[in-house]
Amino acid sequence: MPVVDEVAADYQDSVTFLAVAAKGTLGATAQAADELFSENLLWGLDEEQQVWDLYGVPGQPATVLIAQGVVVDMWFGVNDADFLRERLDRLVSLS
């Protein structure tokens, strides 16, 4: 997630970044978020994994890109900054 936080700084005017955690307590999640994220990322805890189920996410890390309410890209696993920028540039072009 640190690479997402880093890249997010360059897209603050055009993309909202939301990290959705599950399988943890609010306290543990808040502590991890404080360690991993800057103000570039919003985060939340989905204790019942409803958001994960909605998008078919089996585990972390997973990324879902949404433009105008439609899923336009999705992948599982960790990727580097260049990969993220390529996908985010495509997302921004659709918005």
Contact yes or no for 4/41 (Cβ under 8 A): yes
Alpha-carbon 56 to chain mean position = 14
Residue 84 tokens read as: 């993220």
Strand blocks (E) in 1-95: 18-21, 42-45, 62-67, 70-76
- According to DSSP, the residues that pair with 44 across neighbouring strands are 20
Query: pTM of the prediction?
Result: 0.84
Per-residue pLDDT of the chain (95 residues; tens, 9 = 90+): 689 989 999 999 999 999 898 888 888 888 888 888 888 888 988 888 899 899 998 888 899 999 989 999 999 999 999 999 999 999 999 87
pLDDT attached to residue 22 = 85
* C-beta atoms surrounding 45 within 10 Å: 18
